Amino acid sequence: MMPVAEKFLKYIKFPTTSNELSSTCPSTKSQLDFAKFLVSECKSIGLEDVSLDENGYIMASLPSNINKDVETIGFIAHMDTSPDMTGENINPKIVKNYNGEDIILNKEKNIVLSPKIFPNLKNYIGHTIITTDGNTLLGADDKAGIAQILTAMEYLIAHPEIKHGKIRIAFTPDEEIGRGADRFDVQKFDADFAYTIDGGLLGELQYENFNAAYCKITINGQNVHPGTAKDKMKNAVRIGTQLANLFPLEETPEKTDGYEGFYHLNSFNGNVEKAELTYIIRDFDMNNFNKRKDFIENIVKKTNEHYGKGTVNLELRDQYYNMKERLENKMEIVHRAFNAMKAVGVEPIVRPIRGGTDGARLSFMGLPCPNIFTGGDNFHGKYEYISVEAMQKAVETIIKIVEI
């Protein structure tokens, strides 16, 4: 097994699910436990200026080995895994020399990873693939990125003949719940630009992402005995259903692709007395993004007009914006990664992120930060997998980016 895979398999043993309901940073103690372990990893391979702050942010340096001033480059990955599925007791399966056929993840539960449903698997025929056992997510998002950064740093330390400037690395908490950049100290990081190693398929290179907003709709009903409810009952669940049906059916994640935006009903909970709907709103175009938020405000207003003032309360807040706005005048950073991939035999796939990364917010905080592949796919669920050979190519890409 390649060193990067050995590190990855070690790191996914740490459960690091983030928790949106928590008010602490990091949002879960398990992330801090993992961070302390990573500090020892950084020190053991020879990185310098290793620090862990009270919020769970790790930073470290690899000093320059040349006698001239060049740009300081950063690499960033996140420690937490998605709360969409459990990350406890991950039991990975290793499939060597993948043959392009179905992979049985869990025979008892009849859970199968099939290229008929997930055609990207065909990209990795002949590779060693690491999968879940069908009971958890895998954690490649983003422990693969951590493993790749540390493997690359370890290689550079062992090979001083590869000339490079100062390199900064950082591992952040709570990216999956949108807080990864909240307490990131850009000034302390002190890099001219950086890359998040948080992408998917082999070759992905991204400098565009969604504009994103969070929406919570609370419906206040009025419950009385159904036998005497005429003209008195206000059924919050029924009102919520009617409101949800006002959203365009074709503008959902399962119906959109490429540069198309969407409304995503993420949860719907309640009873007659009270119901809550949460949505995420996504769009690449800022004008369309604002129109989507206007649309939601309008249907809430109309629902209140029909059922009475105060029936529906709306919480609507922006989460992050399209980093393209901050990278359009710094495309040499993107070109550097593009050329590095080509140099190590990887065909770059330049396409927008239908999601977000820490790099999106960091770009608006003054640290330009495109996103690079890890080699994984189907993140956040039991069908998650990653190619070992693709992981190694990510390591080689990092090394080539910093090489003078």
User: Buried (b) or exposed (e) across 113-138, using 16+ Cβ within 10 A?
Assistant: bebeeeeebeebeebbbbbbbbbbbb
- The pLDDT value given to residue 368: 97
Q: What is the pTM of this model?
A: 0.89
354 contact partners, CB below 8 Å, separation of at least 6 = 210, 257, 282
- Alpha carbon distance 152, 159 (integer Å): 10
Say what the pLDDT of residue 27 is. Answer: 97
Same domain assignment for residues 171 and 315: no
Map the chain to HEC letters. CCHHHHHHHHHCCCCCECCCCCCCCCCCHHHHHHHHHHHHHHHHHCCEEEEECCCCCEEEEECCCCCCCCCCEEEEEECCECCCCCCCCCCCEEECCCCCCCEEEECCCCEEECCCCCHHHHHHCCCCEEECCCCCCCCHHHHHHHHHHHHHHHHHHHCCCCCECCEEEEEECCHHHCCCCCCCCHHHHCCCEEEEECCCCCCEEECCECEEEEEEEEEECECCCHHHCCCCCECHHHHHHHHHCCCCCCCCHHHCCCCCCEEEEEEEEECCCEEEEEEEEEECCHHHHHHHHHHHHHHHHHHHHHHCCCCEEEEEEEEECCCHHHHCCCHHHHHHHHHHHHHCCCCCEECCECCCCHHHHHHHCCCCCCEECCCEECCCCCCCEEEHHHHHHHHHHHHHHHEC
Are 223 and 184 within one domain? no
Pair 375, 201: CB distance under 8 Å: yes
At residue 93, what are phi and psi to the nearest 5 degrees?
A: -110, 140
* Structure confidence at residue 38 (pLDDT): 98
Q: Output the pLDDT for position 357.
A: 82
Domain shared by 308 and 366, yes or no: no
The strand pairing partners of 212, in sequence order, are 282, 320
Same domain, yes or no, for 165 and 269? no
Are residues 222 and 103 in contact, defined by beta-carbon separation less than 8 angstroms?
Answer: no
Instruction: List pLDDT tens digits, range 294-308.
Output: 999 999 999 999 999
Q: Which of 272, 298, 320 is where one domain is finished?
A: 320
Beta bridge partners of 264: 280
Number of domains in the chain: 2
Can you read off the two tokens belonging to residue 404? 């003078």
C-alpha Rg value of the chain to the nearest Å: 23
In this structure, the answer to whether residues 155 and 200 fall within a common structural domain is yes
Final residue belonging to a domain, choices 286, 320, 354 = 320
Catalytic residue check, 142: no
Neighbours of 37 (CB within 10 A): 15
- Which of the following is catalytic: 41, 80, 358, 396? 80
For this structure, is 80 an active site residue? Answer: yes
Which pLDDT belongs to residue 356?
80
Residue 274: the pLDDT is: 97
Query: Domain holding 43: CATH number?
Result: 3.40.630.10
Same structural domain, 153 and 180: yes
**What pLDDT score does 242 carry?**
96
- Candidate list 175, 251, 283, 377, residue with the active-site label: 175
> Can you give the pLDDT at residue 80?
98
Q: Are residues 167 and 123 in the same domain?
A: yes
Distance CA 345, CA 267 (A): 43
Range of the domain at 295: 211-320
Q: What is the C-alpha to C-alpha distance for residues 81 and 125, in angstroms, rounded to an integer? A: 27
pLDDT at 248: 96
- At residue 217, the pLDDT reads 98
Inter-CA distances, 315 with 239, 271, 300, Å: 17, 20, 11
Specify whether 51 is located in the same domain as 84: yes
Per-residue pLDDT tens, the chain, 404 aa: give them: 799 999 999 999 999 999 989 999 999 999 999 999 999 999 999 999 999 999 999 999 999 999 999 999 999 999 999 999 999 999 999 999 999 999 999 999 999 999 999 999 999 999 999 999 999 999 999 999 999 999 999 999 999 999 999 999 999 999 999 899 999 999 999 999 999 999 999 999 999 999 999 999 999 999 999 999 999 999 999 999 999 999 999 999 999 999 999 999 999 999 999 999 999 999 999 999 999 999 999 999 999 999 999 999 999 999 899 999 999 999 999 999 999 999 999 999 999 989 888 899 999 999 999 999 999 999 999 999 999 999 999 999 999 999 98
* One domain, residues 269 and 357: no
For residue 239, the domain's CATH number is 3.30.70.360
Q: Are residues 125 and 156 in the same domain?
A: yes
Residues 301 and 381 in one domain: no
C-alpha dihedral, 328 to 145 to 279 to 316, nearest 10°: -60
Structural domain ending residue among the three candidates 303, 320, 337? 320
**Do 255 and 121 belong to one domain?**
no
